[in-house]
Amino acid sequence: MLHCSGTRTTQSYTFRRCKEDHLKRGWKDIGYHYYITRDGQVHEGRPLWQEGAHCKGHNKHSIGICYEGGLDALGNACDTRTKAQRESMRALLTRLHDQFPSTIIMGHRDLSPDLDGDGHVEPEEWLKFCPCFDALWDYGDLEPEGLLDWPSDSMEN
Ligand SMILES: [Zn+2]
């Protein structure tokens, strides 16, 4: 499952910072299995055999991957992935897809309930934008076979 760190492009949010913030919450390690910084470097967080802490209710059966960013300079949700981040994200997902071919690649928001806005954008609402791009679309070619196929008669009904 893909996440963004929810930080602005003008702000550096390193692997170390992210890990420290998660440890401050009382967690035993960074919540993600992988963290991709703006320079494209893939930092290994929790080992895969260890349950992550990145999406309540789904940690037991998912791999958490986060990229640094997700907000533009003004704080708006935005696909801020750098070219280097896109390249290493794709390489990482290709490798994981080979290892776990039946695993669905999705964004955090694909699982969030669409909370209704009250006119204010609270930080916790960013969750529904996370990871700020369409993971199913971007990595459609790496999805399990058949996942994105429409029933053949769907156009006729
Ligand atoms: Zn997320």
Task: Please count the structural domains in the chain.
Answer: 1
Residue 63 lies in a domain: yes
Residue 13 lies in a domain: yes
CA of 110 to the centre of ligand 1 (A): 10
CA of 157 to the centre of ligand 1 (A): 36
Of 121 and 149, the structure prediction assigns the larger pLDDT to 149
Residue 155 lies in a domain: no
Concatenated DSSP letters for 14-35? Answer: -HHHHHHHHHHTT-SS-S-SEE
Residue 41 lies in a domain: yes
pLDDT bracket for residue 122 (50, 70, 90): very low
Say yes or no to pLDDT of 132 above 70: yes
Residues 111-125, mean pLDDT to the nearest whole number: 53
CA of 20 to the centre of ligand 1 (A): 17
pLDDT bracket for residue 78 (50, 70, 90): very high
CATH number for the domain spanning 112: value is 3.40.80.10
**In the chain, pLDDT over 90 holds for what percent of residues?**
73
Residues 3-19, mean pLDDT to the nearest whole number: 96
Residue 153 lies in a domain: no
